[in-house]
């Protein structure tokens, strides 16, 4: 698939966020992807502070890549600290907040009278979520993350450190993960294609990629010599795992999809669908100022409930009074009507009587 | 039974008598496995005891439990027999631990279970009839650390601190076939540093200064902790034609019993072959006694234990109920408002009708007046 050669000097801009608990292979994956040490590995020097829960830190890093003759200005957004705390609720808010803030920047820029020509679009085009290789199925934290973030970004699930699973285990795991994704209705990015509209190659390509999901990733920054060639690999006492070997890992397929074949599509989906949805939601929210539905702390909640009960009681009484008033008014008006009817009838009869007299 | 040596009375025969009694009685052993899901707990137990104690996971019903945010305690019982020596084995599994977004207090069911077993045994001892006692006191607790290659997580530290003071804690590195040898060595070192710095008590096999061979063995075991584990109950073929228990990858076979691949044999030795009795006796003599002492200092003899009724899951249910109540209240409010609107609309409508009727009446009256006036004039003209 040809990618637009947009601004050959600057290169195509593309932002990928990587999310996953420590030890799922995130840092190594990024360094393997960029073929250079972009991110630093976690430093665990102080055992005295190992029990301290660090928050999540969101750090974007820029690098230049060349893929198939096309220059890519790649931004990697790392999220160290996700999933490492005992309570990880806050980390979710942080990531969501980051994504929405970038959307807000673009929204703000679009609405300006004089737009900034040097404006840098930092919206995230793809989010790689690293599922730990448990071999069973998705855990609550996996489900919650993908569910909450898919409305704002293209989520691509990957299995980190996939070399801990035998081929059989991997197959079963992939199947169960996709079953769970379907069961919980999580809209991950699944290389969509249209049987009627797209050409055969695209359909074949996309269905092949879809069948590989979630991608089994093995990363390595070390190289060894195999058959005279320098190959990126992991060395165990029982064998050697080759990173770029499609039988050992889905790394190369993912890389080419991300940086080559599906880069444009991911960008356009982000802009045309996800961003537009956010924009619509945000603008309609400011028009009808929505009630703040955040959870109040316990005391306030019970106090609020009591107040509400009071309010309800008062309103009930008011309504009852109004009811009585209205029915009374209706009564009165009815009587007035009847009275008027009476007088009219009298007039009528008098008229009739007069009319008879007039005839003589 | 050897005849008493020349010059002795036969008390040296006592150990042999004891052996016979113990051999006939058999033993019972309770082991607990704690760790996040997917770390190979079930497989390790099956590998350790060479028998399928726990069947492989039933995935068809997993959606029921995935989001329930609860740590459970599962008890599996089995009876093992080897060379006519019977062991009643109990395995305690803890599914759900550490798998959720918020894992605060997820260790409570596990810690409470361990304490409850001490409590139950204590109560039974205090009964007048204490012949038949059920004893589920945990003799060994294997804590499974995920092979991240980094260090212990805050969650690991929290629970290990609490486990270490109550039970013989043996940390293991699960699924160690994810780590290369260099990474594994660094990882072990870092874990040991954290354990020391955070004052976590782990089980140390006792070193008998007199028996040098066993002391050497004990030292070897202690140095290898936390044990790196690869578990498998399947027989596979290695490249050089041997049939072993292991995991078959495309790039080779990771063998369970190969000391170069993992520390499984050391773990088995610790838990079964050489130190099982020590695990049992330290639980009974040391941990149980500590518990008993602590409880007796604060409670009177025979008084039941005060239970915490603070279950995080129930708190969530409480919140849920509260939210639903608020919603219902809001719905009722909305209904009342609608009703009010409806009444107001009715009133307006009736008012309008009245207005119309009123104006019609006025019109008629006006006509009537006109007629009357006209007639009056007419009659006047006569």
Average pLDDT value over all residues in chain A: 85
Q: What value does the mean pLDDT take over residues B302-328?
A: 73
What pLDDT, in 10s, does the model give residues A30-73? 999 988 888 888 777 788 888 888 888 888 999 988 887 888 99
CA A24 to chain CA centroid, Å, is: 21
Task: Say if residue B379's pLDDT is above 70.
Answer: no
Average pLDDT over residues B229-238: 90
Residue A87, SS3? Answer: strand
Which strand (E) or helix (H) includes residue A103?
helix A89-111
pLDDT at B1 over 60: no
Asked if B368 and A347 touch (Cβ cutoff 8 Å), the reply is yes
Q: Which CATH architecture has domain A12-40+53-286?
A: 3-Layer(aba) Sandwich (3.40)
Q: Least CA distance to A317: which residue of chain B?
A: B336
For residue B184, the model assigns a pLDDT of: 93
Mean pLDDT, to the nearest integer, of A95-113?
Answer: 90
Please list every residue in chain A whose beta carbon sits closer than 8 Å to the beta carbon of residue B364. 344, 347
Q: Using CB atoms and an 8 Å cut-off, which of residues 12-51 of chain B contact chain A? A: 36-39
| φ/ψ of residue B305, rounded to 5 | -80, 140
For A70-101, write each residue's pLDDT tens digit.
Answer: 889 999 999 988 888 888 888 889 999 999 99
Q: Are B321 and A300 in contact (CB under 8 A)?
A: no
Determine the Cα–Cα distance for residues A64 and A172; give it in Å rounded to an integer.
37
- pTM (predicted TM-score): 0.75
Q: What pLDDT shows up at residue B265?
A: 93
Q: Average pLDDT of A246-251?
A: 91
The pLDDT-based confidence of B34 (bands split at 50, 70, 90) is: very high
Report d(CA A70, CA A4) in Å as an integer.
Answer: 9
Of these ranges, A221-230, B61-70, B311-320, the one predicted with the greatest mean pLDDT is A221-230
Q: What is the pLDDT of residue A6?
A: 47
What are B14-31's pLDDT values in tens digits? Answer: 888 888 888 888 888 999
Confirm if B195 and B187 have CB atoms less than 8 A apart: no
In this predicted structure, the answer to whether residue B140 has a pLDDT above a threshold of 90 is yes
**Under 8 Å CB-to-CB from A102, ≥6 apart: which residues?**
A122, A123, A124
Closest by Cβ to B332, choosing from A44, A242, A312: A312
Which position has the higher pLDDT, B23 or A163? A163
Residue B6 pLDDT > 50: yes
Query: What are phi and psi for residue B34, nearest 5 degrees?
Result: -125, 135
Rounded to a whole number of angstroms, the distance between the first and last alpha carbons of chain A is: 108
| Residues in chain A closer than 8 A to B340 (CB atoms) | 319, 322
CB B222 within 8 A of CB B234: no
**What single string gives the DSSP state of each residue in A123-186?**
---EEEEEE---SS---HHHHHHHHHHTTTS-EEEEETTGGGS-HHHHHHHHHHHHHHHHHTT-
Compute CA A191 distance to the chain's CA centroid, rounded to the nearest angstrom: 16
- Torsions phi, psi for A205 (to 5 deg): -55, -55
Q: Model confidence over B163-215: pLDDT tens digits?
A: 999 999 999 999 998 899 999 999 999 999 999 999 999 999 888 888 888 88
Of the candidates B81, B76, B87, the residue with the CA atom closest to the CA atom of residue B53: B76
Listed residue (B71, B129, B78) closest to B105, CA to CA:
B71
pLDDT at position B308 is 59
Residue A9 confidence (pLDDT) above 70: no
Our CA-based measurement puts residue B244 at a distance from the nearest CA of chain A, in whole angstroms, of 13
Pairwise pLDDT comparison (A357 vs A358), residue with the higher score: A357
Ramachandran assignment for B199, one of left (phi > 0), alpha (psi -120 to 50 degrees), beta (any other): left
pLDDT at A293: 41
pLDDT at residue B309 is higher than 70? no
Question: Would you kindly state where each structural domain of chain A is located, as residue ranges?
Answer: 12-40+53-286
Better pLDDT: A133 or B84: A133
Residue A53 at interface with chain B, using a CB cutoff of 8 Å: yes
Q: Is A84 on the interface with B (CB under 8 A)?
A: yes
For residue B313, what pLDDT band results from cuts at 50, 70 and 90? low
Q: What is the distance between the alpha carbons of residues A109 and A116, in angstroms, rounded to a whole number?
A: 7
Strands lying side by side in the sheet with A223-226? A223-226, A229-236, A239-242
Contact A234 B375 (CB under 8 A): no
Considering only CB atoms, which chain B residues are within 8 Å of A240? 251-252
Residue A359 pLDDT > 70: no
Confirm or reject contact between A360 and chain B (CB < 8 A).
Answer: no
DSSP 8-state symbol, A239: E
Taken as a whole, chain B contains a residue count of: 382
Q: Which chain B residues are closer than 8 Å to A237 by Cβ? A: 181, 258, 260-261
B101: closest CA among B147, B129, B58, B68?
B68
Question: Chain B contacts of A239, Cβ < 8 Å?
Answer: 249, 251-253
- In tens, the pLDDT along A277-314 reads 999 998 888 765 544 444 434 555 566 677 777 877 88
Of the given ranges (A308-312, B343-347, B367-371), which has the lowest mean pLDDT?
Answer: A308-312
Choose the weakest-confidence range: A322-336, B126-140, B154-168, B290-304: B290-304
Distance from CA of A235 to the nearest CA of B (A): 6
Residue B82 reports pLDDT greater than 90? no
Minimal Cα distance from A47: which residue of B? B194
Contact A238 B261 (CB under 8 A): yes
pLDDT in tens, B92-133: 998 888 888 888 888 999 999 999 999 999 888 888 888 778
| Res B52 pLDDT > 90 | no
- Which residues does chain B have within 8 Å of residue A21's beta carbon, measured at their own beta carbons? 148
The architecture CATH gives domain B20-308:
3-Layer(aba) Sandwich (3.40)
The whole-angstrom separation of Cα B159 and Cα B106 is: 9
What is the 3 state secondary structure string of chain B? CCCCCCCCCCHHHHHHHHHHHHHHHCEEEEEEEECCCCCCHHHHHHHHCCCCCCCCCCHHHHHHHCCCCCCCCEEEEEEEEECCEEEEEEEEECCCCCCCCECCCCCHHHHHHHHHHHHHHHHHHCCCCCCCCCCCCCCEEEEEECCCCCCCCHHHHHHHHHHHCCCCEEEEECCHHHCCHHHHHHHHHHHHHHHHHCCCCCCCCCCCCCCHHHHHHHHHHHHHCCEECCCCCCEEECCCCCEEEEEEECCEEEECCCCCCCCHHHHHHHHHHCCHHHHHHHHHHHHHHHHHHHHHHHCCCCCCCCCCCCCHHHHHHHHHHHHHHHHHHHHHHHHHHHHHHHHHHHHHHHHHHHHHHHHHHHHHHHHHHHHHHHHHHHHHHC
Angle between helices B154-164 and B108-125 (to 10 degrees): 10
Instruction: Name the burial class of residue B81, with classes exposed (0-12), middle (13-18) and buried (19+) by CB atoms within 10 angstroms of its CB.
Output: exposed
Phi first, then psi: give them for residue B277, nearest 5 degrees: -60, -40
- Listed residue (B343, B196, B216, B195) closest to B269, CA to CA: B216
């Amino acid at each position: 698939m040809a990618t637009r050669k947009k601004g050959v000097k600057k290169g195509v801009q593309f932002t990928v966020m990587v999310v996953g608990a420590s030890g799922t292979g995130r840092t190594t994956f990024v360094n393997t992807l960029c073929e250079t040490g972009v991110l630093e590995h976690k430093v665990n020097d102080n055992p005295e502070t190992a029990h301290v829960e660090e928050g999540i830190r969101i750090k974007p890093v820029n690098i230049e890549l060349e893929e198939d003759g096309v220059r890519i200005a790649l931004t990697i957004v790392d999220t160290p600290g996700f999933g490492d705390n005992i309570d990880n609720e806050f980390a979710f808010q942080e990531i969501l907040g980051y994504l929405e803030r970038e959307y807000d920047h673009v929204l703000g820029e679009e609405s300006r009278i004089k737009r900034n020509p040097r404006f840098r679009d930092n919206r995230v085009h793809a989010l790689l979520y690293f599922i730990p290789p448990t071999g069973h199925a998705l855990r609550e934290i996996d489900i919650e993350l993908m569910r909450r973030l898919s409305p704002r970004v293209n989520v691509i699930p990957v299995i980190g450190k996939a070399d801990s699973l035998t081929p059989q285990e991997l197959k079963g795991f992939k199947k169960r993960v996709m079953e769970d994704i379907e069961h919980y209705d999580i809209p991950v990015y699944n290389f969509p294609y249209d049987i009627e509209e797209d050409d055969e190659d695209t359909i074949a390509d996309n269905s092949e990629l879809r069948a590989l999901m979630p991608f089994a990733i093995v990363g390595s920054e070390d190289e060894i010599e195999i058959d005279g060639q320098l190959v990126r690999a992991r060395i165990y006492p029982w064998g050697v795992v080759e990173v770029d070997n499609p039988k050992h890992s889905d790394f190369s397929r993912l890389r080419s999809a991300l940086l080559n074949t599906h880069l444009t599509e991911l960008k356009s989906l982000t802009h045309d669908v996800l961003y537009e949805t956010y924009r619509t939601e945000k603008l309609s929210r400011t028009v009808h100022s929505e009630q703040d539905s955040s959870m109040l702390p316990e005391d306030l909640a019970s106090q609020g409930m009591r107040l509400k009960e009071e309010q309800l009681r008062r309103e009930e009484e008011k309504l009852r009074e109004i009811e009585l008033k209205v029915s009374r008014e209706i009564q009165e008006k009815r009587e007035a009507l009847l009275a008027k009817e009476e007088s009219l009838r009298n007039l009528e009869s008098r008229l009739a009587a007069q009319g008879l007299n007039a005839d003589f | 039974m050897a005849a008493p040596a020349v010059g002795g009375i036969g008390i040296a025969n006592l150990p042999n008598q004891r052996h016979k009694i113990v051999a006939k009685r058999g033993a019972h052993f309770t082991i607990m496995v704690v760790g996040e899901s997917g770390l190979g707990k079930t497989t390790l137990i099956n590998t350790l005891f060479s028998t399928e104690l726990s069947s492989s996971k039933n995935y068809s019903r997993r959606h029921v439990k995935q989001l329930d945010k609860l740590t459970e305690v599962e008890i599996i019982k089995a009876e093992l027999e080897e060379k006519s020596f019977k062991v009643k084995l109990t395995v305690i599994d803890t599914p759900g631990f550490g798998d959720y977004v918020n894992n605060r207090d997820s260790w409570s069911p596990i810690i409470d279970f361990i304490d409850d077993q001490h409590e139950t045994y204590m109560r039974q001892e205090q009964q007048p009839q204490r012949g038949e006692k059920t004893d589920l006191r945990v003799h060994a607790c294997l804590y499974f650390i995920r092979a991240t290659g980094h260090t212990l997580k805050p969650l690991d530290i929290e629970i290990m601190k609490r486990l270490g003071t109550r039970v013989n804690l043996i940390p293991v590195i699960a699924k160690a076939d994810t780590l290369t040898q260099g990474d594994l060595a660094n990882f072990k070192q870092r874990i040991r540093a954290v354990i020391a710095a955070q004052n976590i008590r782990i089980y140390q096999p006792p070193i008998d200064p007199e028996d040098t061979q066993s002391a050497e063995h004990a030292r070897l075991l202690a140095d290898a902790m936390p044990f790196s584990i690869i578990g498998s109950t399947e027989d596979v073929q290695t490249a050089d034609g041997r049939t072993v228990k292991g995991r078959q990858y495309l790039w080779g076979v990771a063998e369970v019993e190969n000391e170069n691949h993992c520390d499984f044999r050391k773990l088995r030795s610790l838990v079964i072959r050489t130190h099982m009795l020590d695990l049992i006796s330290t639980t009974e003599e040391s941990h149980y006694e500590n518990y008993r002492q602590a409880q007796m200092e604060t409670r009177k003899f025979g008084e039941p234990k005060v239970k915490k009724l603070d279950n995080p899951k129930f708190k969530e249910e409480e919140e849920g109920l509260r939210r639903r109540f608020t919603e219902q209240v809001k719905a009722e409010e909305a209904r009342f408002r609608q009703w009010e609107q409806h009444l107001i609309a009715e009133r307006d409508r009736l008012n309008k009708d009245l207005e119309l009727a009123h104006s019609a009446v006025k019109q008629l009256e006006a006509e009537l007046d006109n007629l009357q006036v006209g007639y009056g004039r007419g009659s006047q003209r006569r």
